[in-house]
């Protein structure tokens, strides 16, 4: 991060999504067919038990916390033991909603069976900070443990803040990312009634026929370290976070600012933070939710910042659905995998770009590329914008 001090390395990551559990399966899923005929996509046959010491412990964790712990396990296994003072290892996490499944279940329990039957574990299971807290407690990380809750920008904001804590010298390592599992009956009804969900059951980012998103879930967790310390301990450095930015549209609770004005400013702030020019960016991993207004505004913003032709643009939500606060984490994982495989995954289900889309959207099949600095965008309800720039090892 430009002028901030220490370089920030990524030394491990883990990912769970409906299209695949673990990095390898997730990559195969990104190349697979897109979602069709669905309001929601969820991880099938999820078994949390391998990540808990006993069934009781697993039952006392909401599904979103289970996801977070599982992704953290894969990330920390890859990075290896962190040989730092535990008070200098942070846990910065993002979620949009937290333990909504537990809350909804317990509301039903209260209505049907009375107040005395409400679980005493309701509060620790539903609270939004449970995921990050669980990771810090399990691994005895005693540095800053904070949760960012900025709707669909949460995980990107978490990663950006985590990187700053390292760049500023406050932490030697930070475990960061995001998780979400909120596709309850009531939540789905709410999104459907506000016309945010696809009526065709297909997520088609930037497509002429896009009509809303499909509700997803998942988690991705990353181990960030001070670059020099990671090199000293012999860790494998997978990528580097060069810069990040956050700002607000201050326009509307759900709609983006017209013309993507806030997104334009956010991407430019991230470029400034990274010390890069627009021409240095070689891929844009878009928020690309498949809603008419979001995709139009983001396309306009990308063209305004990068000119025409734009760098290759992709959205993974045609495969993953929209996992709300976990979106930025899953997309950062997709960026790392695109570095490794030297391919940009296609925007699933997208066949004909809308007339209002001016980006170079990767469609149909993965595109070969020479990996370079990549910007990943996420924009949340409330006008929250987040951009992060990740670069391959050079």
**Active centre residues (catalytic):** 152, 287, 322
Backbone angles phi, psi at 8, to 5 degrees: -120, 115
For residue 343, the surrounding DSSP H or E stretch is strand 343-344
- Give the strand pairing for 218-226 and 8-17: antiparallel
Rg (CA), the chain: 20
Name the nearest CA neighbour of 13 among 144, 159, 148, 228: 159
Cβ neighbours of 124 (radius 10 Å): 18
The greatest distance separating any two alpha carbons of the chain, rounded to the nearest whole angstrom, comes to 62
Q: CA-to-CA distance for 389 and 128, rounded, in angstroms? A: 26
In 208-253, which ranges are E strands? 218-226, 239-248
Q: Report the DSSP pairing between strands 312-314 and 283-285.
A: parallel
CA dist 190 and 100 (Å) reads 13
Q: Are 229 and 171 in contact (CB under 8 A)?
A: no
């Amino acid at each position: 991060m430009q002028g901030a001090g220490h370089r920030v390395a990524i030394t491990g990551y883990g990912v769970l999504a409906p299209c695949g559990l673990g990095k390898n399966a997730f990559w195969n899923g990104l190349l697979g067919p897109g979602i069709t005929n669905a309001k929601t996509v969820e991880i099938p046959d999820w078994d949390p038990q391998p990540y808990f010491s006993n069934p009781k412990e697993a039952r006392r964790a909401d599904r979103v916390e289970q996801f977070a712990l599982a992704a953290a396990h894969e990330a920390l296994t890859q990075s290896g033991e962190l040989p730092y003072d535990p008070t200098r290892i942070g846990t910065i996490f993002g979620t949009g909603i937290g333990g909504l499944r537990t809350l909804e279940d317990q509301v039903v329990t209260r209505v049907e069976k009375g107040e005395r039957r409400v679980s005493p574990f309701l509060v620790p299971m539903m609270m939004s900070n449970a995921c990050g807290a669980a990771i810090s407690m399990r691994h005895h990380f005693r540095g800053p443990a904070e949760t960012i809750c900025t709707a669909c920008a949460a995980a990107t904001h978490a990663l950006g803040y985590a990187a700053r804590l390292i760049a500023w010298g406050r932490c030697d390592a930070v475990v960061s990312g995001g998780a979400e599992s909120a596709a309850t009956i009531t939540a789905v009804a709410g999104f459907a009634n506000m016309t945010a969900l696809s009526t065709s059951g297909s997520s088609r980012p930037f497509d002429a026929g896009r009509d809303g998103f499909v509700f997803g879930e998942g988690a991705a967790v990353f181990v960030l370290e001070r670059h020099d310390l990671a090199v000293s301990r012999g860790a494998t450095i997978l990528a580097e976070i060069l810069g990040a930015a956050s700002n607000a549209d201050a326009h509307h609770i759900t709609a983006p600012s017209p013309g993507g004005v806030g997104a334009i400013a956010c991407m430019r702030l991230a470029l400034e933070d990274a010390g890069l020019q627009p021409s240095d960016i070689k891929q844009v991993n878009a928020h690309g939710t498949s809603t008419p207004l979001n995709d139009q505004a983001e396309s306009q913003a990308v063209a305004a910042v990068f000119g025409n032709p734009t760098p290759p643009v992709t959205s993974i939500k045609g495969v993953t659905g929209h996992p709300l606060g976990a979106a930025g984490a899953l997309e950062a994982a997709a960026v790392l995998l695109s570095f490794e495989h030297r391919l940009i995954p296609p925007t699933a289900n997208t066949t004909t770009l809308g007339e209002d889309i001016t980006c170079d959207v990767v469609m149909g099949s993965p595109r070969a590329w020479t990996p370079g600095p990549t910007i990943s965008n996420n924009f949340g309800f409330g006008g929250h914008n987040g951009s992060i720039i990740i670069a391959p090892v050079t």
